[in-house]
Amino acid sequence: MGSVTSYFAPLCGEEQKLEEKRHFRGNDRPFNLSYHYADNAITTSKYSLFTFLPLNLFEQFRRLANAYFLSLMLLQLIPQISSLSWFTTAVPLILVLSITAVKDASDDINRHRSDKQVNNRMVNVLIDGELRSEKWMNVQVGDIIKLENNQFVTADLMLLSSSEPLNLVYVETAELDGETNLKVKQALTVTGEMGDSIHALAAFKGEVQCEPPNNRLDKFRGTLSLDGQTYSLDNDKVLLRGCTVRNTDWCFGLVIFGGPDTKLMQNSGKTTFKRTSIDHLMNVLVLCIFGFLAFMCSVLAIGNGIWEFKEGSVFTIFLPREQGVNAALSSFLSFWSYVIVLNTMVPISLYVSVEIIRLGNSFYIDWDRKMYYPKNDTPAQARTTTLNEELGQIKYIFSDKTGTLTQNIMTFNKCSINGKAYGELLDFSGQRVEITEKTERVDFSWNKLADPKFSFHDHSLEETVREGKREAQAFFRLLALCHTVMPEEKTEGELYYQAQSPDEGALVTAARNFGFVFRSRTPESITAVEMGRNVIYELLAVLDFNNVRKRMSVIVRSPDGKLTLLCKGADTIIYERLHPSCNKLREVTTIHLNEYAGDGLRTLVLAYKDLDEGYMDDWKRRHHEANTAMEDREERLDELYEEIEKDLMLLGATAVEDKLQDGVPQTIEQLAKADIKIWVLTGDKQETAENIGYSCNMLREEMKEIFVVAATTAEGVKEELQKARRTMCPQAAEEATVIKARAGLFWLQKTQRVEDEKVDGDYGLIINGHSLAFGLEKDLQLELLRTACMCQTVICCRVTPLQKAQVVQLVKKYKQAVTLAIGDGANDVSMIKAAHIGVGISGQEGMQAVLSSDFSFAQFRYLQRLLLVHGRWSYLRMCKFLGYFFYKNFTFTFVHFWYAFFCGFSAQTVYDEWFITLYNMVYTALPVLGMSLFDQDVNDRWSFQYPQLYAPGQLNLYFSKKAFVRCMMHSCYSSLILFFIPWAAMHDTVRDDGKDVADYQSFALLAQTCLLVVMNIQLCLDTCYWTAVNHFFVWGSLAAYFAITLTMYSNGMFLIFTSSFPFVGTARNSLNQPNVWLTIFLTSLLCILPLVAFRFVLIQLRPNINDKVRDTVRKEALPALAPRRPPARRISTRRSGYAFSHTQGFGDLVTSRRFLLKMPLRSRPVVFTQTDSALAHSQPQHYRTIAEEPHSPQAAGAP
């Protein structure tokens, strides 16, 4: 929305011509510019310097109340109908517009800064035969650019050449899909031959034809035409913007898509103007108020016409009408006069106050020390100040997994070797001992090549290995040899492992610390250091991992000539291939595996097999034939793998922990108690996501059933969804019932809602990305929604960023519930933008999610405080504010209405004009702000103790259309008392000295004093939590009223400003009369007593959750802090806790004859980062609201 044209074009029906095919030429800018492709500059801001004022005013006047006040100000410019000056409306309106504009400008300036920072990054571009350093935004389609190690990829590129053998490039795609394991890309051989020759690259004139810009991250189709030959391009030849080049000195790439056309930006979603459900409700209510105001003005205008016709002629003798004015015209003018007089039904101060309350509640989030993460010095931040109360109404949470629920750190936690379990500490009674930072760690100082950051606490395992136990040494030997890890040794003894998956890194590092160090590899050999002794194994074959095999094997020859097959994989797969002699050991190992699965650990089973030399020669010959076959190559290889991976001997099992962030299971449990549904949307594989589901207590053993939808056809997905739905709710209708309605301003918005269906018991649903793609299609989306919403937990695996947003939009569309999306990477941006509330976690995947979010913090566990404390309080305060504000202004306005019947419908005001001016701006502004900023029904600890307190917000019970109608009825009753009791009390009344007191000015003073006293008593009844500030505001406002009134009604003010202060002496003449104070007391009693009685009876007969909890709070002491105790082990009936985030293909690379050529040592980054436990530095957090288990210092995350 950089210009007015671009902003309004869609509104006018203009459409951009869609690109059907992209065609460009390398190193030929004039040719490429003729197609007008987008350059590489990105724009996420909404305004420019020139468009800010018109666009911002346009957005603000879309709020109906602002348009109303503008119209009112124009009416006040007409002297014939206005009894109030125009600036009484203009000044507050300009103030409101200015405050909102400044806030919007501040938000957009931050976006501009972010855009400028990205667009001004520098990159080497090949221009006119030489490399020049250019800004990212100046890069064009068809340019050749050079990237170096650890650089962000500038745009979507076709890889041309790289410094690595076979033209490989390693990239980290965390910003795109949330996965931190490295991916491999490979250039075409024909372009790879150019290497880093600037002359050859400058002469490159290849033409590329490819698909138009799209959001598919996993697919790319195109062709390269070069020297009369055509070469196919696929996703493996493309580097996407958002990736980071790793472990590659340099690479060259040809720009395919730039800026907004890149797949990252295509997936980022549009920036939308988010508004809360209360905002939408207020728009509707304001429209209803306008209608009611028009009705009241019409009644009074008709009354004026009748009065003028019947009674007005009597007064024309001494009050002649203006020329041309008759009863009909007088009636017409009085209508508009009453529009101005009664405009306080929707005072502009309402919107000023709402913005102040939201700003104040945002500061509470920013200042909350219990949401501050000292380790990274990261406080919570409310990046948007207009959505606070929506935090108290969340029904669905959509969460990323990697980096949001987990820390992206794998640690070697436990293992089972030859039937004995290691890794747990037991006390003298056999009970598990909690492992903390103070627990003694195993001392690996005897191993000079050990990783100093690796942590393990069971000393018996170290003793077993050092004693030379054959099975234990074979166990770690297998971990040191059976993998596809690439080692690096910067200096002697400083090893760094580049692992394709963090699981492998953790296992190889564990083997390293226990004395079996993987040192180096060539395509034919693996060098290891075993208990200080250098050993070289001949590598004969790598039987690679894939999702069907769920295992990988290596065949090695030891220095003494012994042939061994080493295998690791899922227990269900390995068990089928074990030798019968392992049955007993298998039973014991299974018990350990079930315990590990119960703890949510990721498990692998290890086995080996000794091979015969003659058989191996024959197998190698057949393997070579199969590997070079032109047909059925994969099938023949699989048969050979199946043949040799039989009669394996079991060694044991490993248990790796995908470390959750602190407090994640407790947070999810608390949110579930608050009836908030959590869906996990992750790009990770199914096994990994399922394991995390169990670790987080989202998936539980006691669930009746966990459905897995993994069909690859639309029909198959439909059948699986229907089967799951019929299992959960057999009596449910086959077709979904969609309730259609209208909502929004003027009821123009069409809504569709699918009701929740009751299910007996808890169920879970796991669905993968392919199946989800079919499920999101128009004819299946309702089936998907019905089935998913019946489940307590939903986990979507292998989903793209766009699919995440589509799932959120599906729930928003048909559930009409408030949604929240939380993530930490660029792949979560579209989901964050699509949800009502977007929360960014400032984690290890960059700051893209935070920059696009409405709220941000450092740890997932802070989400419960954001919702159950800040969100609930904000919603409660806003609802109380609106209820009280409408009440005090309706009451104020209705008194005018009743007075009209006693003043000839002349639009005379019942109050002093100064009281009308100051009523909302001074007398009642601060008390209601004090309540709206400080009130709380119960404190934060009780909010955590009773998460059920959150439910009323989800059901919108505190402020709705019904509550608004009740407020109007209450106001009508109060206004009748406030008008007729003072009127009756002063009618024909005399003072103590016999003088008449029943004049207009005395009645006005009495009526406005009664009104103000009643409003303050009502506020006191509504306030649950009193602070010194509340007391000061309430009693200070009353004192200010009497002080200002006595001053303005004094002789001095009358003498100085005679026309402005006509009520001279009224205050001192009236307020010294006992009957005036008695009238104030009686009026207050009659207004408040029925309300108190009604609330008392309601609490006794139909108490709500708040009433019950507040009653408990009065009777009980503050809940104690949750004790810190080790988590209870759950009994698992799962057959496997297997998970391995590995990808097929690395096996071929490590055995390639041209791979890993001898190259000079060079500095490379740490692949696995290491951090200490968060709780170690959390001293400022004085108490915990959840049971947070401490963790041992990170193990095996590696160097």
> Scanning the structure block, which residue is given the tokens 């880093």?
196
The SS3 assignment for 1153 reads: coil
Determine how many CB atoms are found less than 10 A away from the CB of residue 604.
28
- Cβ atoms of residues 894 and 296 within 8 Å: no
Residues ≥6 apart with Cβ < 8 Å to 185: 159, 168, 169, 170, 171, 236, 237, 238, 239
- Cβ atoms of residues 830 and 717 within 8 Å: no
DSSP 369: G
Distance CA 617, CA 1105 (A): 76
Cα separation values, 30 from 27, 142, 728, 834, Å: 9, 10, 63, 39
Distance CA 917, CA 912 (A): 9
What is the per-residue DSSP string for 169-204?
Answer: EEEE-HHHHS--SEEEEE--HHHHTTTT-HHHHHT-
Going by their DSSP bridges, the two strands 793-797 and 677-681 should be labelled as parallel
Distance CA 915, CA 145 (A): 71
Distance CA 146, CA 129 (A): 13
Distance CA 885, CA 612 (A): 88
Distance CA 804, CA 1085 (A): 57
Distance CA 369, CA 792 (A): 32
Distance CA 75, CA 72 (A): 5
DSSP 141: T
Nearest to residue 756, comparing CAs of 711, 714, 789?
A: 789
- Cβ atoms of residues 542 and 559 within 8 Å: no
Structure token digits, residue 1142: 């590995």
Is 400 designated active site? Answer: yes
Going by their DSSP bridges, the two strands 495-498 and 486-489 should be labelled as antiparallel
Please report the sign of the dihedral spanned by the C-alpha atoms of residue 235, residue 238, residue 244, residue 248.
Answer: positive
- Cβ atoms of residues 1083 and 1010 within 8 Å: yes
Distance CA 637, CA 412 (A): 32
Whole-angstrom distance between the N-terminal and C-terminal Cα of the chain?
A: 46
Distance CA 1082, CA 1086 (A): 6
Order of strands, sheet of 156-162, starting from the edge strand that comes earlier in the sequence: 130-135, 122-127, 144-148, 250-257, 156-162, 238-239
Determine how many CB atoms are found less than 10 A away from the CB of residue 651.
28
Segment holding 775, helix H or strand E: helix 769-775
Distance CA 788, CA 766 (A): 9
Please give, one letter per residue, the 3-state secondary structure of 478-526: HHHHCCCCEEEECCCCCEEEECCCHHHHHHHHHHHHCCEEEEEECCCEE
Q: Which amino acid is at 210?
A: C
Determine which one of 143, 368, 400, 451 is catalytic.
400
C-alpha R_g of the chain: 37
What is the per-residue DSSP string for 30-62?
Answer: HHHHTTT---S-----S--TTTHHHHHHHHHHT
Order of strands, sheet of 837-841, starting from the edge strand that comes earlier in the sequence: 381-382, 855-857, 837-841, 818-823, 394-399, 677-681, 793-797, 763-768, 705-709
What are the catalytic residues? 400
